[in-house]
Structure 1
Amino acid sequence: MISASLSVLGPGEFIPPHRGPFRGVLRGYLVLTMPMHSDGTPAAFLTVDGSESCLRDGEFHLWDDTFEHSVE
């Protein structure tokens, strides 16, 4: 690992679609805590290269940073 950071998204915030500039870089998200909607679904989801994943407590997601990715 070369670097690590902590991101916090508040209600209604998002990370717009983007791509990393360098091949060979893996991006990972470890979901520490995720609020839930009243229907039990997670309040945010990750989209990587067109594939959508719900973000749940304790999950780890890893992908090639050159793939377009976003969080809503």
Structure 2
Amino acid sequence: MDRRATLGMSFAELVMARVGQGIGVLCLVFLLPILPFLTVGALVSSLVRPDPDHPEPSYRPDWAE
């Protein structure tokens, strides 16, 4: 954090700024390794999803007719 930006801040504000930075770093550390898997999952899901213009026939049991 820039020293000039902290001149007018109280101790509590400085602590909260550091806590916010720490939480941001933790989010990046946990999310960055997962993002490639989420991207691949979304891509595969979009490729496997059936085409809405040609819906598959729905299952109707014999007794329902």
Under TM normalisation by the shorter chain, which class is it?
under 0.3
TM-score normalised to structure 1 length:
0.17
Q: Greater CA radius of gyration, 1 or 2? A: 2
Higher helix share: 2
Higher strand share: 1
